[in-house]
Every structure is written in structure tokens, then in C-alpha cells.
Amino acid sequence: MVPLLGNVFSESQPTVGATPTASPSLTTAKKAELEEQARGYQLVVQREPDNSTALRGLLEARLQLGDIPGAIEPLERLAKLNPEQTDYGVLLAQAKQQAGDREGAATTYRTILSTKPGNLKALQGLVSLLLQEDRPEAAIGLLQDTLKAGTQINSVQPENNIDVTSVQLLLGQVYANEQRYTEAVTIYDESINSNKQDFRPVLAKAMVLQQQGREAEAKSLFTTAISLAPAQYKDQIKQLATQATASATTPGVSPDVSETPVGGS
């Protein structure tokens, strides 16, 4: 399964601009240049703690150096200075997680969700963290609670709208990852019935049926997903269907779509 399918084939969801990751190997000269930049930005921040330009410069330099722990401090400050820009909070949680502070990462994700329960980046991040900790029931409970809150929140707080379809896709994927295929198919069917023109739950159901060896049903759904999908996604879905068919004829091989480009890029 594509990790968190709701993100991979979301038609409207923005993506985090710069997930904290260690940079590839740097030349000695480039590393020295970045270290000098970081020192310069750090001096400015010491004099002007709320200087967003210097904080962003310090963050970028440390990320390029692969200094994930060092990126946490400017991210914390940027998140505090820009509470409306939740990407800073998501990046902060990711950095804490990569630095080994899973508790701090979970707290950061939950802080975002306490005010913006429909923030899919934070929701996906927390679900991924819970699954890493081998807590699938907690992940399922989180998503079920979000779906329950969706109807009420969407009617009274449109600014905090919860994308119910994307949350259903996340829940279905967690079920599928746990091999609870019946529950996965049920939640996908609910989404399909509510969104007749959305190809994503159709595609997700096709992949689950294929995993179960229900090839004829899966093939039909792949065809439907292709017909419903916007033009920029059709080739990707055809590739997934082809990979699924090839894998089904090779014993012990399951579809590997982990390299599928996000959002059709």
C-alpha cells in the first residue's frame, strides 16, 4: 500500500515544504560556508530573538548541514511566532521525532490538532508516529474520533473543516496495514457511496482487494478509478494496476508502490 494513501492522491491538500532530513554529503567548502552562515544567523537571533528572517536562515542552514537537533530551537521559535502557519509546527514535530523525542513530537502534533482537528499533515504525522510505536488501536481511535467530530465541526466551524474523505482513507489504510481487510473495505465503501466522483477510495479498495487475491473485482475497480481520476493521475493508476497484476502472478511478491510520486509529480 502507498503510505497514507489519502496524502498521495489528495486533489487539494498542500504538502509540507521541507520535511527535516539530513542533507547528502557536502563538500568541505560547502559545509564550512553553511557553518559560517549558521553562526551569523545565530548571532542575529541572540540579539533579536523574534527576527523571523534570521530564524529561517538559521533553520535552513542547519537542515542543509543535517543538524536536525539544531533545527529544533529555531523551529520552536518560528512556530510560536507564527501560530497560524501550522507547517512550522508539523516540521517541529518531524524534527523532534527524527531526533528521538517521540513524546515531544506527539505533543506537538496534538497541540496543532487541538485547535485545527482537520489538519491532515498533523493527523498523518501523529498516525504514523503511533504506528511506529506499534499502537495501531490508538491510531484507529484517533481517526474514528476525528470522523465523529467531522460532521459537527464542518457545520459550525467551516474554517476548521475536516476532510472526511481523506480521514476515511487514512483509517482504511491503517486497517489494511493491520490486515483487517473487511473493515478497510467497509470504510472505503462508505467513502465511495458519499463521493461518487472521487477516485481515491475506489483505488484504495482496488488495492486491498488485490492484496486479498480478488483479482477480477480489483481489476474492475482499477478501471473505474482510471475513468474517474483527473488526467494527471491516470498514468500513475495504470502503473499501479499493472504492478498489481504482475505481482499477483509472482509467488511471494506484493505490490511495491512506495516510490509512487506524490500528487502526480
Residue in 76, 47, 84 with CA at minimum distance from that of residue 59: 76
Question: d(Cα 206, Cα 184) in Å, to the nearest integer?
Answer: 11
The amino acid at 87: D
10 — pLDDT class (breaks 50, 70, 90): very low
Residue 65 in contact with residue 26, Cβ under 8 Å?
Answer: yes
**Looking at per-residue confidence, does 258 or 145 come out higher?**
145
Question: Which residue would you say has higher pLDDT here, 55 or 16?
Answer: 55
Q: Is the pLDDT of residue 40 over 80?
A: yes
Res. 227: pLDDT tops 80: yes
pLDDT of residue 123: 95
**Predicted confidence (pLDDT) at residue 190 exceeds the cutoff of 50:** yes
Q: Which pLDDT does position 264 carry in this prediction?
A: 36
241 — pLDDT class (breaks 50, 70, 90): confident
- Do 184 and 208 form a contact (C-beta atoms < 8 A)? yes
**1 within 8 A of 173, measured Cβ to Cβ:** yes
Q: Which fold has domain 5-22+66-153+163-264?
A: 1.25.40
pLDDT at residue number 246: 63
- What's the chain's Rg over C-alpha atoms? 21
| Alpha-carbon gap, residue 242 to 257, rounded angstroms | 11
The C-alpha cell that represents 253 in the structure block? 511478491
Helix axes 164-177, 120-132, angle to 10 degrees: 10
Q: Give the number of C-alpha atoms closer than 13 A to the C-alpha of residue 170, restricted to the C-beta side.
A: 31
Answering whether pTM is above 0.85, one says no
Average pLDDT on 214-218 reads: 92
CA angle 12, 113, 118 (to 5 degrees): 30
Query: Using CA atoms, how far apart are residues 129 and 109, in angstroms rounded to an integer?
Result: 10
DSSP state letter for 35: H
- Per-residue confidence (pLDDT) for residue 159, from 0 to 100: 62
Q: What is the mean pLDDT of residues 162-166?
A: 90
Q: What number is the average pLDDT over the span 244-265?
A: 42
| Angle in degrees, CA 150, 265, 124, rounded to 5 | 30
Query: In the block, which residue shows the cell 465503501?
Result: 189
Among candidate residues 259, 222, 226, the one with its CA nearest the CA of residue 244: 222
> 12-21, 65-74, 125-134, 243-252: lowest mean pLDDT where?
12-21
Q: How far is Cα of residue 85 from the mean position of the Cα atoms in its chain?
A: 17
What's the pLDDT band for 156 if we cut at 50, 70, 90?
low
